[in-house]
A and B are shown apart, each in its own frame.
Chain A
Amino acid sequence: MKKSLLMSAAFFVGASGMATANSDLQALIDDPTQWAIQTGDYANTRYSELEQINKDNVGKLQVAWTFSTGVLRGHEGSPLVIGDIMYVHTPFPNIVYALDLNDNGKIIWKYEPKQDPNVIPVMCCDTVNRGVAYADGKIFLHQADTTVVALDAKTGEVKWTAVNGDPSIGETNTATVLPVKDKVIVGISGGEFGVRGHTTAYDMNTGELVWRAYSMGPDSDTLIDPENTTHLGKPVGPDSGTNTWEGDQWKIGGGATWGWYSYDPELDLFYYGTGNPSTWNPAQRPGDNRWSMTIMARDPDDGMAKWLYQMTPHDEWDYDGVNEMILTDQEVNGQMRKLLTHPDRNGLAYTLDRETGELLVAEKFDPAVNWTTGVDMDPASETYGRPAVVAQYSTEQNGEDVNSTGICPAALGTKDQQPSAFSPKTGLFYIPTNHVCMDYEPFRVSYTAGQPYVGATLAMYPAPGSHGGMGNFIAWDNIEGKIKWSIPEQFSVWSGALATAGDVVFYGTLEGYLKAIDASTGDELYSFKTPSGIIGNVMTYEHGGKQYVGILSGIGGWAGIGLAAGLTDPNAGLGAVGGYAALSDYTALGGQLTVFKLPD
């Protein structure tokens, strides 16, 4: 136990900055017997020091206990374990259960908010929720209707509530929150409804709004300093959040902030990405549409942006930039660097210096990616940091009412929010991916508040000329920018990965399998079919001296929309249409937690 704590301190990137993080939460994160934050740690590594379950014995894993959540929709996120209590959340209606680990999971308390069901259809892709957060004796839930609620972790009593958005104009929430110091930082969804994305900090003790940073708009709204906020090392200049938009379009500009947030206590910066600009019809919003599709580094105290990097200027494919930002300290060209690694929806995995925002690596993490030939890495170039767009796959250049075909990846991205893991033992990132391409036809739409504002027709299909499956689970080297190995999967891998000191990596599949693989080779060591498809994230904890692995099952989310009926390949000829596997042949709705252990 002592040994693993020491190891954890050595690997945890922000250990020396502990005083500036939330100290209560930081202490729990540093204790590998707990699962105190959805992302495993502030650095988003989803790595656990626990090693009782290891690559030699994981094949003997068995089900320890199960729990039905009572809700039959897509279950993303994972439970938390704080002390002897496990906190389990559900999709809408966003129930939270506190389960007593000392008493076979007996329900200590249950919180069920009353929400207007009219929020359901303004959620883009099912009613998912990526879980609760914990700090200072409170559980934080960000409901579908954007109500942020702080619950007493022991009793479930409501301490405060805050309203972060307005579902009647399409503002909703699916994400977890990030507790930092005395604040809770929250995002918002609604990029398909023409909202203007924002990130907001609430006082952890009172629920009072402290600051709000919009993804676009005047500098006073975006909390961008024209002189001190940089983009690829240069000051962004005044009005950067409005001057790449036509007229007032930034007011319905999208850039939702529904992904994963990470925090570096030493630099005292938190990181997240912004989503697609609204609408999906690029011709309707000329310009780079800043700061949609952007990695942001901000100060948690006042929200001010330190640096930004826009990955996909003027998006033409719905490649939201919200995926996880994993913080590691690694050697690059013989020098230790503070890195941020981000596998983006657009199919490029970026490695940046997280202190300065300098771009170090931008490489494809699926060979199928074809919309770009790559990113200009020459700092002297006028197009430095920009992806070179292939004209054939440009829905902007091909124009409105033209069907651009064979674009890889599909709008789902080479990966969506399903978070990757990083093992400091192997130095590898374990990334769940989609292997799906699309046809995309943009057309003119008009904006109506609270109504979908999409403006494109999509058809998706498995990447042509490949293994025929719709997913891969890959090991990624973020310094070389190379895939180390890749496991083909029949369906997209829509489950968050977990890496452990036992040299095992875990992930779930849409058919419902929990899989354990060898962290070095990718060889499958264990699999078990849970009651429903998995879009949740694998977590681990120790209780009573025993290590457990937990996973939520419950098919749904975007995967449940696109893949339930199977995909068709328009290029395969009529005979093959419908021939691809339908998810509905493998799994049905569910809502269950399955917890695994080694035999006693």
Chain B
Amino acid sequence: MLTSRRLLSAGLAASLALVALPVLGEEAPSPDDPKFAASYEQEGRYFTADDIPTFNVAEDGTVDWRTFSGFRRYHAECHVCHGPDGEGSTYAPALKNSAVKMDYYDFYGVVAEGRQKVNASENSVMPSFGTNPNVMCYLDDIYVYLKARGLGVVERGRPAKKEAKSEGIQADEDACMG
């Protein structure tokens, strides 16, 4: 818990600086790390060995459906503050880094509940998206997309090739969106 708190505040600190510049002094995480790498698949959904949703990018660049869907949903719901491709803006952190650094459940919590950082030098407010189906029904998609961006396995822009949407994913979407 202590660790995740430290990482969380590192994520916030990124919001103070303009974001495209490389953050020096940190080791680049590897997409092959078991923390991130896909260990098994369920109907087009990929998970790590710890059952955390993750991306899957084939040799030829084909991304799994959720990563592609995350690209779309991110650019509808999140990019108006957090910038294109998870790169951050002048006032909101680069989420491609947050998705790598933050624990999955913490990431979920911040999106659902929101977070405020209002003081003499900052006016950063993340709203609560807990009641927004356009975000919450696709949060795993957004999460795996941003993680793939942060680890450098998906380039900026629209993924060129994607896996088809599975029946299971479609059923989940229908159930969630109502």
Contact = CB atoms under 8 A, between A and B. Distances in A.
B18 A73 contact: no
B20 A561 contact: no
A561 B79 contact: yes
B127 interface: yes
Contacts of A448: 131-134
Nearest to B127: A121
Contact of A568 (B94, B132, B156): B156
B83 A454 contact: no
Contact of A565 (B87, B118, B129): B87
B72 A443 contact: yes
B81 A561 contact: yes
A566 B20 contact: yes
B110 interface: no
Interface string A570-589: 10001001100011110111
Contacts of B114: 121
Contacts of B177: 446
A454 B76 contact: yes
B127 to A, nearest CB: 4
A32 interface: no
**Does more than half of chain B's interface fall in helix, strand or loop, or is it mixed?**
loop
B71 interface: yes
Contacts of A441: 72
Contact of A561 (B90, B124, B127): B90
A192 interface: yes
Interface in B79-100: 79-81, 83-85, 87-92, 94
Nearest to B61: A574
A121 B132 CA distance: 14
B80 A459 contact: no
A419 to B, nearest CB: 21
Contacts, number: 138
A156 B82 CA distance: 36
Given A564-B19, A584-B18, A451 B129 contact: yes
A564 B157 contact: no
Interface in B1-47: 16-21
> Which of A120, A448, A577 gathers the greatest number of chain B CB atoms within 10 Å?
A120
A121 B126 contact: yes
A348 interface: no
A117 interface: yes
**Does more than half of chain A's interface fall in helix, strand or loop, or is it mixed?**
loop
A210 interface: no
A478 interface: no
B43 to A, nearest CB: 20
B121 interface: yes
Interface stretch (A100-108, A123-131, A252-260): A123-131
A579 B19 CA distance: 16
B116 A117 contact: yes
B134 A446 contact: yes
A113 to B, nearest CB: 13
Contact of A567 (B84, B118, B133, B134): B84
A564 B20 contact: yes
Contacts of A568: 84-85, 156-157
A456 B76 contact: yes
Contacts of B90: 73-74, 126, 555-556, 560-561, 564, 589
B170 interface: no
Contact of B84 (A125, A451, A560, A562): A562
A577 B155 contact: yes
B113 interface: no
B interface residue count range (under 10 / 10 to 19 / 20 to 34 / 35 or more) = 35 or more
B85 to A, nearest CB: 7
A457 to B, nearest CB: 4
A182 interface: no
Contacts of B125: 117-118, 120-121
A452 B134 contact: yes
A432 to B, nearest CB: 19
B88 A565 contact: yes
Contact of A118 (B18, B83, B127): B127
B21 A577 contact: no
Contacts of B94: 565
Given A121-B127, A561-B83, A589-B18, A126 B76 contact: no
B77 interface: yes
A117 B123 contact: yes
A554 to B, nearest CB: 9
Contacts of B17: 588
B101 interface: no
Contacts of B127: 118, 121-122
B80 A125 contact: yes
Given A120-B123, A446-B133, A556-B90, A454 B157 contact: no
B89 A577 contact: no
B91 A556 contact: yes
Contacts of B16: 589
A562 B85 contact: no
A124 B123 contact: no
Contacts of A451: 129, 131-132, 134-135
A124 B84 contact: no
B178 to A, nearest CB: 8
A566 B89 CA distance: 10
A541 interface: no
Nearest to A144: B123
A165 interface: no
A311 B157 CA distance: 31
Contacts of B81: 121, 561
A583 to B, nearest CB: 7
B80 A452 contact: yes
Contacts of B80: 124-125, 192, 452, 454, 561
A108 to B, nearest CB: 22
Given A454-B80, A562-B83, 10 more contacts: A117-B118, A117-B125, A120-B123, A445-B134, A446-B134, A448-B133, A564-B83, A565-B88, A583-B18, A584-B21
20 contacts: A73-B91, A118-B127, A120-B125, A127-B123, A443-B72, A446-B133, A448-B132, A457-B71, A458-B75, A555-B90, A561-B89, A561-B90, A562-B83, A564-B19, A567-B84, A568-B85, A582-B20, A584-B19, A589-B16, A589-B18
Interface of A: 71-74, 92-93, 117-118, 120-122, 124-127, 192, 403, 439, 441, 443, 445-446, 448, 451-452, 454-460, 555-556, 560-562, 564-568, 570, 574, 577-578, 582-585, 587-589
